[in-house]
Amino acid sequence: MGNPGEEYIGTRHNSGREAVMKFADKMSFDDFEFDKKKQALVTNGKAGKTKVTLVLPETFMNKSGLAVGKFAKVAKKIKNPAGKTIKAFPDLIVVHDDLDIPLGRAKMSWGKSSGGHKGVESVIKAVGTQAFFRVRIGITPAKASGALKKPDHDTITDNFIVAEFKDKEADEMKKVIKKVVDCLEMAVGESPEKAMSECNTL
């Protein structure tokens, strides 16, 4: 997920979008084409023997669910750890930036809440469940102690998330996005569970 438009290329909020584009390049997918009805750029291909559809919502981040919901239509019924049957999308992987993860790290998770991420909230609302996979890419610098140097709320919304990375940060992001691409390849070509164990050690 991210924001459409050239002015958002290289910004923190577009980390997920750029990782998906890099994945498409690595897997030699066809160029993305705009689907007006679904409000998204779309391409199809294979990772191993698995057919994959990559979707870049052309809505702004906070309305990403408008596009995602048009692709994630057929839910499965699974039992959660408590034994309750829930609606789930085990074939859906949402890739996005995350303020609560240090820059240079990434985590893959299943069935988590949005954590206040408006784009993820939009997807959860559209598909009617939080039971899907997410790859969360850290965008917040950390101190030597490991504590995040997280800006205040106004700075986050007005400047930080839509700002470009500093040169050193951009170099760090290239490395982690490469690893995220490898995790996505493993997730769709082998299994999301195996990818989670790999991605969460980045």
Give residue 197's pLDDT.
87
Q: Are 105 and 138 in contact (CB under 8 A)?
A: yes
* Residue 96 is a catalytic residue: no
DSSP type of residue 3: -
Host H or E run for residue 126: helix 118-127
Share of the chain residues as helix, strand and coil, in percent rounded to the nearest 5: 40, 30, 35
Q: Edge-to-edge, what's the strand order for the sheet holding 76-79? A: 76-79, 85-102, 132-140, 106-110
Give the helix ranges, DSSP H, for 57-112: 65-71
User: In one letter, which amino acid is 129?
Assistant: T
Q: Edge-to-edge, what's the strand order for the sheet holding 33-35? A: 33-35, 40-47, 50-57
Q: Are 93 and 183 in contact (CB under 8 A)?
A: no
Mean pLDDT by 10 residues, the chain (202 residues): 92 95 96 96 92 95 95 89 91 95 93 93 96 95 80 70 90 94 94 88 64
Fold entry, domain 6-199: Rossmann fold (3.40.50)
Q: Which of 13, 96, 117, 153 is catalytic?
A: 13
DSSP type of residue 147: -
**pTM, full prediction:** 0.92
Specify the 3-state DSSP secondary structure of 129: coil
Domain ranges in the chain are 6-199
